[in-house]
Amino acid sequence: MKSAYRKLEQSIGYRFKKKALLELAVTHPSYRYENPETEDDNQRLEYLGDAVLSLIAAEHLFQHNPGAREGDMSKLRSRLTQDRKLAQIGASIELSAFLRLGRGEEMNGGAKRPSNLADAVEAIIGAAWIDGGAKAVHKIFDKVFLPELSLLQDAPVKSNPKGELQEYAQSHNHGIPEYETIETAGPEHQRIFTVKVTVCGNAWSAQAGSKREAERLAATLALDELR
């Protein structure tokens, strides 16, 4: 087992003291199901890794961005730790070559499935936390996540008023905004949709040529007034 994961350890920048933890981190539930002698899979490590990664990312952003606002740091952390990004990271370190999958899952392309890659990345973080604590996780974070974070910080942030409105509402204990199409007018090839968003005890409406755009405009109006 020592040499089996050497390339993976090189890719993540950390050598495990207990190789069994790394093996467990790449063990999919389907493998455990098809191999009764295997007592556990990576789901519990995934749970731990999710929390640890969020903490380490928050710590890094706090320490290296003294002038950043809470909302800006939260957005960066969210973009860095979302499943899509984790799957990309998993692909970049060729994690699919090390996943332990059941036959059915493997035949159905499970090694390349984004959700499996994302889960395994989080599980590796959890395993590293158990194996070597914060120091171990920082090594992985610096090797694998920092380059991705730099790209995210340099990339322009697309406007997402619906996401920002939901974040605002929940942070002020107002629940999730509710969108309702209250009118559809015009011919089929030139429809005009009127959408109402209700949040924070008030409602705003907007019109556009698609429901999605009308929702975006309504959310923008709500944000402008609430802020």
Q: 25 in a domain, yes or no?
A: yes
d(CA 102, CA 141): 29
Residues 128 and 207 occupy one common structural domain? no
129-161 pLDDT, tens digit per residue, is 999 999 999 999 999 999 999 888 776 555 688
Q: 97 in a domain, yes or no?
A: yes
Residues 89 and 138 occupy one common structural domain? yes
Residues 17 and 112 occupy one common structural domain? yes
Q: 1 in a domain, yes or no?
A: no
26-38 pLDDT, tens digit per residue, is 999 999 999 989 9
- Whose CA is closest to 172, among 223, 210, 127? 223
Bridge-based pairing of strands 178-185 and 192-199 is antiparallel
- Whose CA is closest to 204, among 173, 175, 163, 165? 165
Q: Is 50 a catalytic residue?
A: yes
Q: 125 in a domain, yes or no?
A: yes
Structural domains in the chain (count): 2
pTM: 0.69
Domain termination residue (choose one: 137, 154, 171):
154
- Whose CA is closest to 136, among 18, 225, 39, 1? 18
Options 23, 41, 46, 50, the catalytic residue: 50
* Domain coverage including residue 146: 6-154
Residues 136 and 176 occupy one common structural domain? no
Mention every residue, 6+ apart, whose C-beta is less than 8 A from residue 22.
Answer: 5, 8, 9, 16, 124, 127, 131
Under 8 Å between Cβ of 119 and 92 = no
**pLDDT tens, per residue, the chain with 227 residues:** 557 899 999 999 999 999 999 999 999 999 999 998 999 999 999 999 999 999 999 999 999 988 888 878 888 898 899 888 999 999 999 999 999 999 999 999 999 999 999 999 999 999 999 999 999 999 999 999 999 998 887 765 556 889 889 988 888 888 899 999 999 988 777 788 999 999 999 999 999 888 888 998 999 899 888 86
Residues 89 and 167 occupy one common structural domain? no
Residues 20 and 113 occupy one common structural domain? yes
d(CA 214, CA 227): 20
Cα-Cα end-to-end distance for the chain: 56
Q: What is the pLDDT of residue 197?
A: 95
Options 41, 105, 119, 122, the catalytic residue: 122
Residues 31 and 89 occupy one common structural domain? yes
